[in-house]
Amino acid sequence: MRITPRAQEINDVVELLESCEGDDPKAVAKALIKGVADILAMRDSYVLAHTWGDGTRGLNWGPFGSEGDAKKFGEKLGGIGGTAYVVPLSSAEVLLANQNGKAGWTPWCVVPECGHAPFAHSSEGTARGACQVPTCNCGGYRK
């Protein structure tokens, strides 16, 4: 997966490295791998889903860091047959962070007690923007 570092992620890694100062190299490497994996788990991703010409389930590839990366990969596949389409994957870690709280995590919901993500809001017809979380009574979300 191609990754473009984000400013906050870089700051988090720098903070992690500074907190490991004086540790042996193996401990630093272990902490760094765990820390970066935790950071990347908070990202949404994409997969390229495939069906064969007869409509049966085909092959799926991913994760990809962007919709564009998934499409480019699909173009490189060429003539395997069937149809491929990009499917967005919402981060399970984001959902858990919004539900259970996570140190340093800024939730999206405008109701502080809730904190759910934007994907919990409808984008269908007249319900556009309406919250779909039964226990929340917000009317919108922060971007």
Q: Does the pLDDT value for residue 139 go beyond 80? A: no
Q: Looking at residue 143, what is its pLDDT?
A: 42
Element (H, E) at 11: helix 7-19
* 77 exposure class (CB count in 10 Å sphere: 0-12, 13-18, 19+): middle
Per residue in 47-89, pLDDT (tens digit) is 999 988 888 988 899 999 889 999 999 888 877 888 889 998 8
Mean pLDDT of 27-43: 88
Per residue in 83-121, pLDDT (tens digit) is 889 998 888 787 777 666 666 665 566 666 666 665 666
Q: What is the pTM of this model?
A: 0.61
Mean pLDDT of 131-139: 70
Token code pair at residue 106: 């800024």
